Structure 1
Amino acid sequence: MTLRRKTYATLSGGFFCYFALIGLFMPFASLYLDAKGFDALQIGEILAVVAATKIIGPGLWAHIADKSGRLSRIILLGCILTVASLTLVFVSEGFWPLLFTFSLFMLFFNGILPQLEVLTLTSIQGASQNYARIRLWGSLGFIVATLTSGEILSVTSPLYFPYLAMFWVVLLTLVSTLNRDPNIAVTSPSSEPQTSVMKRIRHPGFICFLISGLLMQISFGPFYNFFALYLRDAGFDTSYVGVFMGVAIVVELAMFYGAYLFFKAWSVNTIFIFCFLITSVRWLLTALYADNALILAIAMSMHAVSFALYHCACMAFFQRYFSHSQQNRAQAMYNGLFYGVGGAVGAIVTGWLWNQSGSGETSFLVASVAAMLGLIFVIFTPKVSLKSESTA
């Protein structure tokens, strides 16, 4: 399927701005909260609740999207509400006010991505190479925001974090005004027997897949929430956060561009196994060589597999395992359970381990074990066929 240039540019721009905010939030939110005077356990609790909003947000937006069928308007509404709620961060002081405002802000923000994913998949009609090349703009946005934010916050203060966040949210809102729903007939969810959905969810193999996904995201807890503090404690300057993240995102970009080659050579299930194995090794290296810049860079380069390739495999799995009319709910499940529950558990466990041990080494060792446990469960994931998918 050949995408119109305007559609390609708008979808790519949406991913760019969305993940630019993630590129700011993921490494620097903990530094901002640290600068506000919170300890590791409090930071872990705030970020755990923030991650938990992914359980509610995607499902809520998926329900609204299924009812309206207007994904572009739902995305724009989510952006506007995100801007409105982010303004509260500027006037919030203390643990509970910041917990509330961060949660409200991320509740609306987290609901945007699943709809953007579905809008993209619907627009390209399943061509994985087109999807990967649109999605790679998200990685570009991430690296741009991470590198520039690291420099800005290094020469100013982590307390400038909300101003940078507002910049990216406003830009995302402006881009989202250009989204258009594709002219494709969509089957109403009510015309499809609900028992078929429940049967798929209750399949033992699918439950094993969900458990593996939860363990994967739990393993990312130290990286997503405390990596900047981990580097600082290891003796690196704040600007190095952007450098190491840059390594991760450069290889991620390359993977998004060439991921289809893996799908030509391997089955989705084989790719899953490979991703969990590499992820376990990645966290082990991060735990054991925190003060070695070269080995840390090698570990960060594994992000190409543990995130980019794994994400593409999950998209392929959900798209084939669920029917077209179930895709909004499938994306809500993916973001809610994996990134929501898994992210919340990962954040709170990391904060607790960090508080108990006084360093992040134990957290990354536990992360390595979690990824290895996920490898055991993912072996039993149901097999899906990609033979009918276009790679052009």
Structure 2
Amino acid sequence: MRKTWPFTFYFLFFAGVAFLAPFIVLYYQSLGFTGTQIGLLAGLTPLITLFGTLLWTGLADATRRHRLIMSLALLVGVAALSLFPFLKAFAPVMLITILLNMFFAPVSSFADSATMFMLVDKKEMYGRVRLGGTFGFGLAAPIAGRLVQDYGLKLAFWGGAALMFLAFVVSPKLVYRPSKAGAATGGSVLTLLTNRRWVFFLAVAFAGGLTLAVTNNYLFPYLKELGANETTMGLALAIGTIGEIPVLFFGNQLIQRLKPYGLLMLAMVVSGIRLLLFAASSTPNLVMLLQLFAGLTFPAMWVAGVSYADDNAPAGMGATAQGLFGAMVFGFGMAMGGFLGGLLLANLGGQGMYLVVGVIVLAIVALSWLGERLLAERPAAPHNV
């Protein structure tokens, strides 16, 4: 059952995400919120994710109460989702948005930490287990769209809440690495941030967040610049999702052949080059062709990053390590990518945006690789993590 329960959890959790994520901005628009208000709500999400992930994963490692904190986070999130459709004014919607993201922020990191422990000596199989999330999202998205079309946006929240509740029911089946009392302290994150190898790793994770932000947030506006219609945009998204499946399924072989660090660097080099090729594309068809390589970007980076964080986490800090990695990608990286991408899109257009961010990503990867190489040539220090 070491694969079945995590696979099931990912399936249910990301099926719930599929109900909520595509419709949240539409709900804000239906309430008549201004562009500034919607931008504020959207901008809060990665920042809250950054804070919430580090807070809850650090607390779980310090208290050894991973299962309890995971369950409470899911329950509070379910309650917030259930209440969402009843709120119409901006202030209460902002408060419930903060609450929702604060408690859902660490869930994926907890699941990743438990999954890596449950896989024992088969950690390279993480990608296949994580496929549960891809399947859940892919199957739930069209169902959510039809329900919302027939019954209104409230079904996005209530359907998501129902699936998240089922994820809560499954979550006690996840098993976490036991740790000795006192193994983790309030300074856990600082322990990682003062380790040079972790600093280089987190720099690459930050570049991954930049890439994710400019593709998730601004690919459709760029396709519109190139003359694509909504059907083409949806097809581009579907192609990207399909492209993830082979990489996740064969992720174990990639990990075995390249090791986590090698796969991480390969994924980020491909990500940077893909952004440059986006910038060079003159038609939507070329962009869709590049979407075939989506699996070698974020999915490969995520599989490699989770494996690397697990391999290099100090004793008793498994959840903190996964939380810091996730916070750097979905928190700091995506926040900066969203801000920078929006600024560049407004001033340089889609091609200019992807060109600049592609160069930045490749520069970060090159400098991190160089720093890691220089560090590897030095004698290992006794306190290395």
Normalising by the smaller structure, the TM-score range is 0.7 to 0.9
* TM-score of the two chains, using structure 1 as the length reference: 0.82
Partner residue of 1:204 out of 173, 196, 199: 196
Cα distance in 2 for residues equivalent to 1:141 and 1:180:
19
Partner residue of 1:332 out of 295, 320, 323: 323
| CA gap 1:15/1:328 in 2 versus in 1, 3 angstroms | same
Kindly provide the amino acid, as one letter, of the partner of residue 211 in structure 2: S
Higher RCO structure, 1 or 2 (CA under 8 Å, sep 6+):
1
Cα distance in 2 for residues equivalent to 1:339 and 1:24:
19
Partner residue of 2:364 out of 374, 377, 382: 374
Q: CA offsets, 1:82-118, max 9 Å, x none?
A: 1211234323445554433322212111121111112
| CA gap 1:184/1:51 in 2 versus in 1, 3 angstroms | closer
Kept in 1, the 8 Å contact 2:77–2:103? The answer is yes
Q: CA offsets, 1:267-326, max 9 Å, x none?
A: 433322221221112223334437423x22222222211111111111121111113411
Q: Which one is further off, 178-187 or 95-104? A: 178-187
* TM-score of the two chains, using structure 2 as the length reference: 0.83
Q: Which one is further off, 310-319 or 11-20? A: 11-20
Q: CA offsets, 1:157-196, max 9 Å, x none?
A: 9xx4552243133212123313335677712251469989
Cα distance in 1 for residues equivalent to 2:176 and 2:339:
42
User: Is 1:292 the equivalent of 2:284?
Assistant: yes
Kept in 1, the 8 Å contact 2:12–2:166? The answer is no
Structure 1 residue 135: Cα displacement: 0.7
Cα distance in 2 for residues equivalent to 1:303 and 1:210:
21
SS in 2 for 1:180: helix
Cα distance in 2 for residues equivalent to 1:91 and 1:235:
38
| CA gap 1:83/1:367 in 2 versus in 1, 3 angstroms | same
* Aligned residue in 2 for 1:268: 260
- Consecutive unaligned residues of structure 2, counting only runs of 5 or more, are 377-385
SS in 1 for 2:205: helix
Kept in 1, the 8 Å contact 2:48–2:101? The answer is yes
Kept in 1, the 8 Å contact 2:62–2:186? The answer is no
| CA gap 1:304/1:111 in 2 versus in 1, 3 angstroms | same
- Consecutive unaligned residues of structure 1, counting only runs of 5 or more, are 384-392
* Aligned residue in 2 for 1:63: 58
Kindly provide the amino acid, as one letter, of the partner of residue 15 in structure 1: Y
Kindly provide the amino acid, as one letter, of the partner of residue 109 in structure 2: P
SS in 2 for 1:55: helix
Kept in 1, the 8 Å contact 2:124–2:253? The answer is no
| CA gap 1:148/1:370 in 2 versus in 1, 3 angstroms | farther
Cα distance in 2 for residues equivalent to 1:141 and 1:91:
27
Aligned-residue identity in percent? 18
* Aligned residue in 1 for 2:380: none
* Aligned residue in 2 for 1:322: 313
| CA gap 1:65/1:53 in 2 versus in 1, 3 angstroms | same
Query: Aligned-pair RMSD on alpha carbons?
Result: 3.2
* Aligned residue in 2 for 1:178: 170
| CA gap 1:195/1:51 in 2 versus in 1, 3 angstroms | closer
Structure 1 residue 333: Cα displacement: 0.8
* Aligned residue in 1 for 2:340: 349
Cα distance in 2 for residues equivalent to 1:119 and 1:164:
28
Kindly provide the amino acid, as one letter, of the partner of residue 353 in structure 1: L
* Aligned residue in 2 for 1:119: 114
* Aligned residue in 2 for 1:47: 42
Query: How many pairs does the alignment contain?
Result: 373
Kindly provide the amino acid, as one letter, of the partner of residue 180 in structure 1: P
Q: Which one is further off, 109-118 or 178-187? A: 178-187
User: Is 1:106 the equivalent of 2:106?
Assistant: no
SS in 2 for 1:325: coil
Q: Which one is further off, 29-38 or 73-82? A: 29-38
SS in 1 for 2:321: helix
Q: Which one is further off, 374-383 or 271-280? A: 374-383
| CA gap 1:148/1:247 in 2 versus in 1, 3 angstroms | farther
Cα distance in 2 for residues equivalent to 1:183 and 1:27:
31
Cα distance in 2 for residues equivalent to 1:140 and 1:230:
27
Instruction: Map residues 183-332 of structure 1 onto 2, 5 A cutoff.
Output: 186-188=178-180, 190-191=182-183, 198=190, 200-232=192-224, 234-289=226-281, 291-293=283-285, 295-332=286-323
* Aligned residue in 2 for 1:387: none
Q: Which one is further off, 14-23 or 212-221? A: 14-23
| CA gap 1:258/1:273 in 2 versus in 1, 3 angstroms | same
Kept in 1, the 8 Å contact 2:58–2:186? The answer is no
| CA gap 1:193/1:58 in 2 versus in 1, 3 angstroms | closer
Structure 1 residue 64: Cα displacement: 3.8
